[in-house]
Chains A and B, each alone.
Chain A
Amino acid sequence: MIKVTYVAHDGTETVIEAEEGTSVMQAAVSNDVEGIVGECGGSMMCATCHCYVDEAWEARTGQRSDDEDEMLEGAASEVTERSRLSCQIKLDPSLDGLVVHLPEEQL
């Protein structure tokens, strides 16, 4: 199992464990973590799974794709260099302990 910490906009932390291969979005939704909507179920259609990867993890989560970049333009909150669509980050052992921050709004 891979541990992920979601830091809500107000600072509240939720720590969950998810199976390898699950996306950061899916892990949040299945554990009822508020702040990630994931309306399109990971089809890169909705940008309601926006998150900011913690600085310490940036190198390991990889780059966002061109399509992801375009979809993020539709995100409800500010997009920064650390913005990702959490449905596009798949959990693997190298991400055990991952920390992501959640935006104020997803819609």
Chain B
Amino acid sequence: MSPSRVVIVGAGQGGLQAAISLRQNGFDGAITLIGAEPGLPYQRPPLSKAYLLDGKAEALTLRPASFFESKQVTYLPDTRMLEIDRGACEVRLDGVGGDRRLGYDHLILATGTRNLRPPIDGLEHAFDLRTLADAGRLREALAAPRRIAVIGGGFIGLEFAAVARKLGHEVRVIEAAPRLMARAVSPAMSRHFEAWHRAQGVALHLGRAAIGVDAAGVALDDGARVEADFVLLAAGVRPNTELAEAAGIETVNGVSVDAQLLTSDPAISALGDCASFPDPRSGAMVRLESVQAATDHARLIAARIAKGACPDYAAVPWFWSDQGDQKLQIAGFAGPAATEEVVADGLVARFDAGGLAAVETVNNARTHMKARRLLAPGGSADLAALKDAIFA
């Protein structure tokens, strides 16, 4: 029997998609979508890209208010879940949606992540970039000429750096690892972006940790200082798993789920940024921060709830990052042990024990799409197969 009351906690990209897909799959029970943020659910990727330039908040909205009426989805914005009571199958809420308890037959955790606040003195001087409210503050700050320091050379920090530089600001990026985007891309791709950012006039401090922030800039671990009148903290995120943990649900770097995206409690699923799931290709537990993972997870969970069963999760990961005119596209997922093969300038293939794991390209949609097809389930491509596909 399919559950009749589904509660979705977290009204971001994945939580909203779960509501959309439940109705698309014909689920006719009650759906309540609970979100801690005000306003309608919106997409985050443009926050570090187009939105900083054009300020068009309406363009970020994922669905208009009419969607919630026509699809009979109860949306409670500005409302936070405080507790999961698994015994009673209830969540405890607080905020605009009421200080009350809400029963569920199935609960979907879509709580995303929040910015990591490393133990750095004076971090209250630094800005964040996670929410629309954060991005609005950054836009205001960028209205006057600035000397900017960005702590963290990952996707978000670098996308922001590219925009700020384009607007004519002085930009310095501080990254503790010896290379940019070290957790997510190959060394060769890091070098490509290192050269590109430097060519734009962005100063990079690699292998240097920030140890203090004050009104005049950032202190580095080698005693140097980066003078700045504006500091962005983009040093990674932490999955919002505390409430699941407190309720005794298994969590390891995210809420742990199986190939059906069920948590250790079969009445609770988890998706997107907050979920750690088995990579369909390698079986290793991974947590991906991407629109693709959030929406593909949501679709599977919705189909399973509406239809009672569905095949295991098998989607090929894809991701993009726009840094100025450089569009990085990643098909697949490469773990930290993957090797790299530079196939051409701006085209890197990554391999592990199972063969081709991921393909990273810059401004090369053609190869990206071919790689996505090569990586589809069941395949195990080698370098020759990849080259055949690309150069065919």
Contact = CB atoms under 8 A, between A and B. Distances in A.
Q: Do A and B come from one complex?
A: yes
Interface of A: 22, 26, 29-32, 39-41, 43-45, 66-67, 70-71, 73-74, 107
A73 B369 contact: yes
Contacts of B365: 44, 66-67, 70-71
Interface in B50-71: 58-64, 66-67, 70
B178 to A, nearest CB: 29
Interface residues of B, number: 27
B295 interface: yes
Nearest to B322: A43
Given A39-B291, A41-B43, A30 B320 contact: no
Most buried by A among B58, B59, B61, B368: B59
Contact of A43 (B66, B67, B320): B320
A98 B389 CA distance: 37
Interface of B: 43, 45-46, 58-64, 66-67, 70, 291-292, 295, 299, 318, 320, 322, 329, 365-366, 368-369, 372-373
A30 B58 contact: yes
Given A39-B291, A41-B43, A74-B369, A29 B66 contact: no
A32 B369 contact: no
The SS class assigned to the A binding surface is: loop
Given A32-B67, A71-B365, 5 more contacts: A29-B62, A32-B63, A41-B46, A45-B318, A74-B373
A9 B368 CA distance: 29
A31 B369 contact: no
Contacts of A41: 43, 45-46, 60, 291
Nearest to B20: A37
A74 B365 CA distance: 11
B34 to A, nearest CB: 21
A43 B327 CA distance: 10
A40 B320 CA distance: 9
A29 B63 contact: yes
Contacts of A43: 45, 320, 322
A23 B67 CA distance: 19
B140 to A, nearest CB: 23
B208 to A, nearest CB: 32
Nearest to B363: A67
A4 B63 CA distance: 18
Contact of A32 (B46, B64, B320): B64
A44 B364 CA distance: 12
A45 B70 CA distance: 29
Given A44-B365, A70-B365, A32 B372 contact: no
